[in-house]
Each structure stands twice: as structure tokens, then as C-alpha cells.
Amino acid sequence: MRFREIFQAVFQFASRQKMTLASISAALQYCGMTAIPVSKRGAITLPPEVRRALGLDAAENPMMLVELRNGGVFLQPAEAMPVRDIPLETLQKWIAEDERDAEGFWEKAGKA
């Protein structure tokens, strides 16, 4: 069951039972989910237990990768690394992969 469906089911049940916000939050946490507010500017604050579990509290400048997936948002911890610290072989591999991807893209675009 997707998050949205579970979330809707919990709130429908909660409204029928006239549950308080604290009870709804407890029910979501039981399902392994936490409802968090989104500010008018789109900012969210991850709960402390989530930050600790992802190791964000220990990071000097924590960052997250954000990806849209199946109508939802997927967050993943990211780490910045200076290019000078990446082995030359790794950089060459990445460049070769990007060039192959670009060639494939332009081949498909030319056939469209």
C-alpha cells in the first residue's frame, strides 16, 4: 500500500473515531510514518529520530538528494566531496558513462 493510501486510511479512521491530532500522530508512527508540516515556502523539518537514523546530525553540512518518485518525494542523504579527492579512474569512468548516455540520447533524438 502506498503512503498516500495509508495516510488517507488513517485519517478517515481517525475522523470516524473523533481522534485527536496526538492520536493520529501516534497511529502514523506505529505504521513507521510521521506527518510533518510544510511551510508556505516549502521547507520541512525532519524529526530528530529521522536525522539521527540518517546520520545527518553528525554531518558538518548535511545535504539531501530529492527525487520525485511515483507521485511522492524520495529523500536520500548526500555527501559533498571535493573533485580533487575523487580518484582519477573514477572520474574517467563517470565521463565515459556520461558520453555513452549522451550518444544514446542524441541517437534517439535524431530518430524521433
Q: What percent of the chain has pLDDT over 70?
A: 75
**Residue 74 vs residue 2, higher pLDDT:** 74
Integer Cα distance of 52 and 69 in angstroms: 24
**With helix as H, strand as E and coil as C, how does 27-67 read?**
HHHHCCCCCCCCCCCCCCCCCHHHHHHHCCCCCCCCEEEEE
78 band by pLDDT with thresholds 50, 70 and 90:
confident
Domain positions in the chain are: 1-35, 42-80, 83-112
- 3-state class of 32 per DSSP? coil
pTM, rounded to two decimals: 0.46
Integer Cα distance of 11 and 63 in angstroms: 31
- Render pLDDT for 37-53 as a digit per residue (tens, 0 to 9): 889 999 998 888 888 88
